[in-house]
Amino acid sequence: MAGGPERAARQGSLREHNLSLVLGQVMDAASPVSRADISVVTGLTRATVSALVDRLVASGLVAELEPVAVQRAGRRAVPLVPAPRSVAAVGMEVNVDYLGVRAVDLAGGVLSERIERGDFRGSDPAQVLGRLAEISGEVLATLSSSGMRIAGTALALPGLVDRVTGPLRLAPNLGWRDVDAIALLSQHPVLAGLPPRLANEANLAARAEAHARRGTASQSFVYVSGEIGIGGAIVLDGEIFTGRHGWSGEIGHIALGTAGGFDEGGSLEAYAGQDALMDAAGLPRELGLRALVEAADVGEPAALAALSRAGSALGLALANVVNVVDVGEIVLGGNYHRLAEHLRAPMVEQLSRRVLSWPWGEVSVSAARAGDFPAMTGGALAVLRLLVADPSAWAPDDAKGPRG
Distance CA 358, CA 378 (A): 31
Of 74 and 359, which has the nearer Cβ to DNA? 74
For residue 169, the tally of other CB atoms under 10 A from its CB is 15
CB atoms inside a 10 Å sphere around CB 85: 16
**Chain centre to alpha carbon of residue 190:** 25
Single out the residue of 170, 98, 161, 107 nearest to residue 128, CA to CA.
98
Residue 136 or 350 having the CB closest to a copy of itself: 350
SS3 29: coil
Binding range to a copy of itself, per CB under 8 A, among 62-70, 120-128, 213-221, 277-285: 213-221
By CB under 7 A, is residue 45 in contact with DNA? yes
For the chain, report the end-to-end CA distance as a whole number of angstroms: 50
Q: Does 358 sit near a copy of itself (CB under 8 A)?
A: no
- Among positions 3-32, residues that touch DNA (CB under 7 A) are 8-12, 14-15, 18
Contact pattern for a copy of itself over residues 143 through 182, marking x by CB under 8 A: -----------------x-x------xx------------
Q: Is 243 in the site for a copy of itself (CB under 8 A)?
A: yes
Q: Choose among a copy of itself, DNA, none what residue 72 binds, the Cβ cut-off being 5 to 8 Å by kind.
A: DNA
Q: Could you tell me the smallest distance in angstroms from the CB atom of residue 15 to DNA?
A: 4
Instruction: Compute the distance between CA of residue 332 and CA of residue 338 in angstroms, rounded to an integer.
Output: 9
Q: Which does 77 bind (CB under 5 to 8 A by kind): a copy of itself, DNA, none?
A: DNA
Choice from 335, 385, 394, 395 touching a copy of itself (CB under 8 A): 385
Which residue in 354, 362, 364, 400 binds a copy of itself (CB under 8 A)? Answer: 354
Residue span binding DNA (CB under 7 A) among the ranges 68-76, 230-238, 314-322, 361-369 = 68-76
> Under rule CB under 7 A, which residues in 69-128 are in contact with DNA?
69, 71-78
**What would the 3-class secondary structure string for 101-126 be?**
EEEEECCCCEEEEEEEECCCCCCCHH
Indicate which single residue of 142, 218, 320, 366 sits in contact with a copy of itself (rule: CB under 8 A): 320
Strand 160-161: give its sheet, edge to edge.
160-161, 168-171, 176-179
Contact 391, 19 (CB under 8 A): yes
Q: Cα torsion for 218, 343, 92, 127, to the nearest 10°?
A: 160
Q: Is 357 in the site for a copy of itself (CB under 8 A)?
A: yes
Rounded to 10 deg, the angle between the 301-325 and 336-354 helix axes is 60
Instruction: Among 28, 32, 36, 242, indicate the residue that binds DNA (CB under 7 A).
Output: 36
**Considering only 51-59, 162-170, 216-224, 275-283, which stretch makes contact with DNA by CB under 7 A?**
51-59
Q: Which of 24, 28, 32, 46 binds DNA (CB under 7 A)?
A: 46
Beta bridge partners of 62: 82
With CA atoms as reference, report the closest residue to 376 among 138, 121, 112, 164: 112
Of residues 114 and 177, the one with the C-beta less far from a copy of itself: 177
Q: List residues near DNA by CB under 7 A.
A: 8-12, 14-15, 18, 34-37, 43-48, 50-54, 67, 69, 71-78, 397, 403
